[in-house]
Protein backbone atom coordinates (compact mmCIF):
# COMPACT_ATOMS: atom_id res chain seq x y z
CA UNK A 1 0.00 0.00 0.00
CA UNK A 2 2.64 2.49 1.04
CA UNK A 3 4.85 1.74 -1.95
CA UNK A 4 1.91 2.21 -4.33
CA UNK A 5 0.84 5.42 -2.58
CA UNK A 6 4.42 6.68 -2.69
CA UNK A 7 4.34 6.24 -6.46
CA UNK A 8 0.85 7.74 -6.84
CA UNK A 9 -0.30 9.82 -3.89
CA UNK A 10 -3.62 10.57 -5.59
CA UNK A 11 -4.63 6.91 -5.88
CA UNK A 12 -8.00 5.86 -4.44
CA UNK A 13 -6.95 4.27 -1.16
CA UNK A 14 -10.05 2.10 -0.79
CA UNK A 15 -9.65 0.68 -4.28
CA UNK A 16 -5.97 0.12 -3.62
CA UNK A 17 -6.68 -1.69 -0.34
CA UNK A 18 -9.01 -4.04 -2.20
CA UNK A 19 -6.47 -4.71 -4.95
CA UNK A 20 -3.85 -5.50 -2.32
CA UNK A 21 -6.14 -7.70 -0.22
CA UNK A 22 -7.94 -9.74 -2.89
CA UNK A 23 -7.51 -10.85 -6.47
CA UNK A 24 -11.30 -10.98 -6.97
CA UNK A 25 -12.48 -7.56 -8.27
CA UNK A 26 -16.09 -8.43 -7.32
CA UNK A 27 -15.24 -9.18 -3.69
CA UNK A 28 -14.88 -6.51 -1.01
CA UNK A 29 -12.89 -7.60 2.00
CA UNK A 30 -12.52 -5.77 5.31
CA UNK A 31 -9.28 -3.86 5.75
CA UNK A 32 -7.38 -5.12 8.80
CA UNK A 33 -7.20 -2.43 11.50
CA UNK A 34 -3.44 -2.61 11.85
CA UNK A 35 -2.90 -2.23 8.11
CA UNK A 36 -5.03 0.90 8.15
CA UNK A 37 -3.22 2.21 11.25
CA UNK A 38 0.17 1.64 9.65
CA UNK A 39 -0.72 3.21 6.30
CA UNK A 40 -2.51 6.21 7.80
CA UNK A 41 0.16 6.71 10.44
CA UNK A 42 3.07 6.62 8.02
CA UNK A 43 1.31 9.03 5.66
CA UNK A 44 0.30 11.41 8.46
CA UNK A 45 3.82 11.46 9.98
CA UNK A 46 5.85 11.20 6.78
CA UNK A 47 7.75 14.48 7.22
CA UNK A 48 8.67 13.63 10.79
CA UNK A 49 9.70 10.10 9.79
CA UNK A 50 11.81 11.39 6.89
CA UNK A 51 13.55 13.83 9.23
CA UNK A 52 14.40 10.96 11.58
CA UNK A 53 15.74 8.82 8.74
CA UNK A 54 17.72 11.76 7.41
CA UNK A 55 19.59 12.23 10.70
CA UNK A 56 21.03 8.71 10.42
CA UNK A 57 22.22 9.02 6.82
CA UNK A 58 25.91 9.33 6.08
CA UNK A 59 27.28 12.64 4.87
CA UNK A 60 26.43 13.18 1.23
CA UNK A 61 23.37 10.92 1.33
CA UNK A 62 19.86 12.26 0.87
CA UNK A 63 16.43 10.68 1.08
CA UNK A 64 16.08 10.99 -2.69
CA UNK A 65 19.01 8.58 -3.13
CA UNK A 66 17.40 5.82 -1.07
CA UNK A 67 15.58 3.15 -3.07
CA UNK A 68 11.83 3.71 -2.74
CA UNK A 69 11.27 0.24 -1.31
CA UNK A 70 13.92 0.83 1.35
CA UNK A 71 12.51 4.26 2.18
CA UNK A 72 9.01 2.83 2.69
CA UNK A 73 10.43 0.07 4.93
CA UNK A 74 12.35 2.63 7.01
CA UNK A 75 9.28 4.85 7.35
CA UNK A 76 7.19 1.92 8.60
CA UNK A 77 9.86 0.89 11.10
CA UNK A 78 10.30 4.41 12.48
CA UNK A 79 6.51 4.82 12.71
CA UNK A 80 6.18 1.60 14.70
CA UNK A 81 9.10 2.52 16.95
CA UNK A 82 7.74 5.99 17.72
CA UNK A 83 3.98 5.57 17.60
CA UNK A 84 2.97 1.94 18.22
CA UNK A 85 3.57 1.04 21.85
CA UNK A 86 2.39 -2.54 21.34
CA UNK A 87 5.34 -3.21 19.01
CA UNK A 88 8.72 -3.42 20.79
CA UNK A 89 11.52 -1.57 18.98
CA UNK A 90 13.48 -4.76 18.35
CA UNK A 91 10.41 -6.35 16.74
CA UNK A 92 9.91 -3.32 14.48
CA UNK A 93 13.57 -3.53 13.40
CA UNK A 94 13.36 -7.29 12.84
CA UNK A 95 10.20 -6.92 10.76
CA UNK A 96 11.85 -4.20 8.68
CA UNK A 97 14.80 -6.50 8.01
CA UNK A 98 12.44 -9.31 7.00
CA UNK A 99 10.68 -6.96 4.57
CA UNK A 100 14.06 -5.94 3.16
CA UNK A 101 15.02 -9.59 2.78
CA UNK A 102 11.82 -10.25 0.82
CA UNK A 103 11.53 -7.05 -1.23
CA UNK A 104 15.08 -5.69 -1.55
CA UNK A 105 18.57 -7.10 -1.81
CA UNK A 106 21.22 -7.93 0.77
CA UNK A 107 22.91 -4.55 0.38
CA UNK A 108 19.62 -2.78 1.13
CA UNK A 109 19.02 -5.02 4.12
CA UNK A 110 22.44 -4.06 5.54
CA UNK A 111 21.73 -0.38 4.88
CA UNK A 112 18.33 -0.58 6.65
CA UNK A 113 19.94 -2.47 9.53
CA UNK A 114 22.60 0.23 9.86
CA UNK A 115 20.05 3.03 9.99
CA UNK A 116 17.73 1.24 12.41
CA UNK A 117 20.54 0.03 14.69
CA UNK A 118 20.79 3.59 15.99
CA UNK A 119 17.23 3.36 17.29
CA UNK A 120 18.14 0.39 19.46
CA UNK A 121 21.21 2.02 21.01
CA UNK A 122 19.03 3.73 23.62
CA UNK A 123 17.14 0.52 24.42
CA UNK A 124 20.11 -1.08 26.13
CA UNK A 125 20.82 2.04 28.16
CA UNK A 126 17.22 2.37 29.30
CA UNK A 127 17.10 -1.35 30.18
CA UNK A 128 20.21 -0.92 32.36
CA UNK A 129 18.73 2.18 34.00
CA UNK A 130 15.58 0.32 34.98
CA UNK A 131 17.45 -2.68 36.40
Q: Mean pLDDT throughout 20-46?
A: 93
Residue 131 maps to a domain: no
Task: Evaluate whether 63 touches 54 at the Cβ level (below 8 Å).
Answer: yes
Residue 128 maps to a domain: no
CA distances from 90 to 59, 84, 104, 110 (A): 26, 12, 20, 16
Q: The domain containing residue 76 runs over which residues?
A: 32-119
Q: State pLDDT tens for residues 54-112.
A: 988 877 778 888 999 999 999 999 999 999 999 999 999 999 999 999 999 999 999 99
Residue 13 maps to a domain: no
The predicted model scores a pTM of: 0.86
Residue 4 maps to a domain: no
Q: Mean pLDDT throughout 27-44?
A: 95
What pLDDT was estimated at residue 128? 33
- Residue 100 is part of a domain; what is its CATH number? 1.10.940.10
Residue 127 maps to a domain: no
What pLDDT was estimated at residue 25? 85
In this predicted structure, the answer to whether residue 40 has a pLDDT above a threshold of 60 is yes
Residue 78 maps to a domain: yes
Residue 41 maps to a domain: yes
Residue 107 maps to a domain: yes
The structural domain count of the chain equals: 1
Amino acid sequence: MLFALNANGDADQEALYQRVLTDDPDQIVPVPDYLQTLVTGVLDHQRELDAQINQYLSAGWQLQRIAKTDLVILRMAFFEIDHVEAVPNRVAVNEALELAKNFSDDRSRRFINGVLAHTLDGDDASDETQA
